Each structure stands twice: as C-alpha cells, then as structure tokens.
C-alpha cells in the first residue's frame, strides 16, 4: 500500500504542468496568446547588438548603443501614443532643469507629430548629469530614426536623419572626444611652466 502511494507521487512529479505542455495546432493556451499579442506590437530597440525575441524567434529588433563619455543610454521605441519615459519617469521630470531642453531637442527638431504614434522608453546609467542628458537625447533621436526605417518607408527615415544632422551632428553620431590628462611640469595637459 505504501509502495503504491510512493509510485503515484513519483508519477505526479514526472508529469509536466498543464501550462508548460506544448500544444499541437488548434488554439494556443491563454498565457501564450497574451505573450504573442504583446510581441505583435511594432517595436525597435536601439542598442549594440541585434536582439532576437526568445519567445518566437521571429521578431528581430535593429539596434545601436548610445554613449557619452561613461554614460550609456538604451532606447526602446514601440508603437504607442507618444509617451517618452526615462528610467521609468516622464521626460518632464529630467534633472537638472537647465538641461531639460537638450532632451527635448530631437522632439522639437523633428516635430511632435512624428512622436504621436511612438512610445520611447530610455534606460540610462553611468556618467554625470550632463553626459547622461546628452546620451538620452542621442538615444531618442536614434530610436525614432530606427523605428521609421523599420516600420515606415526609408524615405521618411532619411528625411528625419537629414533634419537631425543639420541641426546637430551629435544627435546621431557619438562624440569620441575625451579630456586629456594633465602632465607634470605645467598647469594643464599641454601648457608648460615658462622659463624666466
């Protein structure tokens, strides 16, 4: 009797749970339908590598990384209603206040009508306040261009690129310049003490 009970417990353990079982044809389980619906929205992530969706292996997001000194910003653009969020908070709360217009620049240059159908979420880390703000604005600009290149015609993406580059080249192209370290024998990196 005891042996039979143990065997039934073992059989229960070996059976796969119903939500993990694979379905062959017909209607997929409820939780699977939810994830497929989430993935069906148009989305673009601007980051360093191509990212393949681990759920269906069909969705490929084009990507690019945004760096300003040591600050790194990753933008994710998807079909939506014009929300811009930085680290989960709205773009209106970007600090410091003086640099808030720098973050708004891609929106103001391209026009708010281009952002009405796109939600952009930006994650930023590293660096100081100024370099983070410059990384955010570059990530937003790249995300909009990538979104329009993938889900609209290439001509509109090229037009956006032209508008952004004519206003400020660093909106799409990273600035590789760094401060040169100071050397001994002078006040700065190149300045030397003069002989008298």
CATH number attached to the domain at 42-171: 3.30.230.10
Yes or no: say if 37 and 47 are a contact pair by the CB < 8 Å rule: no
Cα(51)–Cα(139) distance, integer angstroms: 17
Cα(110)–Cα(141) distance, integer angstroms: 9
Q: What's the DSSP call for residue 91?
A: G
Please enumerate, as own/partner, the contacts of 46-50 that have beta carbons within 8 Å and a separation of 24 or more. 46/74, 46/75, 46/76, 46/77, 46/139, 46/142, 46/143, 46/146, 47/74
Which pLDDT score, from 0 to 100, does residue 142 have? Answer: 93
Q: What's the DSSP call for residue 25?
A: S
Q: Are strands 118-125 and 84-86 parallel, antiparallel or unpaired?
A: parallel
Burial status of residue 42 (CB atoms within 10 A of its CB: 0-12, 13-18, 19 or more): middle
To which H or E segment does residue 86 belong?
strand 84-86
The reported pTM is: 0.68
Yes or no: say if 104 and 111 are a contact pair by the CB < 8 Å rule: no
Instruction: Note the maximum CA span of the chain.
Output: 105
| Tens-place pLDDT, residues 50-105 | 333 444 333 444 445 677 788 999 999 998 999 999 999 999 999 888 999 999 99
Cα(134)–Cα(176) distance, integer angstroms: 13
Which pLDDT score, from 0 to 100, does residue 95 have? Answer: 86
| Tens-place pLDDT, residues 2-15 | 555 555 544 555 54
């Amino acid at each position: 009797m005891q042996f039979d009970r143990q065997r039934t417990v073992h059989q229960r353990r070996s059976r796969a749970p119903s939500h993990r079982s694979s379905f062959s044809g017909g209607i997929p389980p409820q939780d699977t339908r939810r994830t497929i619906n989430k993935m069906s929205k148009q989305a673009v992530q601007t980051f360093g590598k191509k990212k393949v969706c681990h759920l269906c292996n069909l969705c490929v997001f084009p990507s690019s990384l945004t760096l300003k000194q040591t600050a790194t910003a990753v933008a994710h653009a998807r079909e939506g209603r014009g929300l811009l969020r930085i680290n989960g908070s709205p773009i209106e709360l970007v600090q410091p206040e003086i640099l808030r217009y720098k973050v708004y620049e891609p929106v103001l240059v391209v026009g708010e009508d281009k952002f009405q159908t796109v939600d952009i979420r930006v994650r930023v880390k590293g660096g100081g306040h100024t370099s983070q703000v410059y990384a955010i604005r570059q990530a937003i600009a790249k995300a909009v261009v990538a979104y329009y290149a993938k889900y609209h015609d290439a001509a509109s993406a090229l037009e956006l690129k032209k508008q952004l580059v004519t206003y400020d080249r660093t909106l799409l192209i990273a600035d590789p310049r760094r401060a040169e370290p100071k050397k001994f024998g002078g006040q700065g990196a190149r300045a030397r003490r003069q002989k008298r």
